Amino acid sequence: MQINKFKFGILKTGEEVFKYTLKNKDLEISILNYGGIITEIIMPDKDGKNENIVLGYDNILDYEEKAPYFGAITGRVAGRIAKGKFTLEEKAYNLAINNGENNLHGGIKGLDKRIWDVELLEDGIELSYISPHMEEGFPGEVKFKVRYILKGTTLELLYTGIPDEKTLINLTNHTYFNLSGNCKESILNHKLYIDADKVPYLDTGSIPTGELFIVEGTPFDFRTSKNIGKDIGEDDTQLNQTKGYDHPFILNKNKDVEVILDHKASGRAIEIRTDREAVVVYSGNYLGDDEGKLSCGVEAKQHLGVCLETQELPNNINIEEFKSSIYDSKNSYEAKTIFRFKTVGKEVK
Sites of contact with ligand G6D (CB under 6 A): 68-69, 99, 104, 206, 246, 282, 286
Closer by beta carbon to ligand G6D, 105 or else 268: 105
Distance of closest approach, residue 74 Cβ to ligand G6D, in angstroms: 7
Distance of closest approach, residue 169 Cβ to ligand G6D, in angstroms: 18
Contacts 24+ apart (CB under 8 A), 288-291: 290/66, 291/62, 291/66, 291/67, 291/68
With 0-12 / 13-18 / 19 or more C-beta atoms within 10 angstroms meaning exposed / middle / buried, residue 226 is middle
Closest residue to ligand G6D, judged by C-beta, is: 68
Closer by beta carbon to ligand G6D, 18 or else 286: 286
- What is d(CA 245, CA 280) in angstroms, rounded to the nearest whole number? 9
- What is d(CA 124, CA 130) in angstroms, rounded to the nearest whole number? 20
Strand partners, 89: none
Closer by beta carbon to ligand G6D, 95 or else 104: 104
Distance of closest approach, residue 285 Cβ to ligand G6D, in angstroms: 7
Backbone angles phi, psi at 317, to 5 degrees: -65, -25
With 0-12 / 13-18 / 19 or more C-beta atoms within 10 angstroms meaning exposed / middle / buried, residue 112 is buried
Distance of closest approach, residue 261 Cβ to ligand G6D, in angstroms: 17
Task: List, in order, residues 6 or more apart from 288 with CB less than 8 Å away.
Answer: 299, 300, 301, 302, 304
Residue 155 near residue 147, CB atoms below 8 Å: no
Distance of closest approach, residue 73 Cβ to ligand G6D, in angstroms: 13
Which residues are designated catalytic?
A: 174, 309
Closer by beta carbon to ligand G6D, 93 or else 282: 282
Closer by beta carbon to ligand G6D, 101 or else 119: 101
Residue 78 near residue 100, CB atoms below 8 Å: no
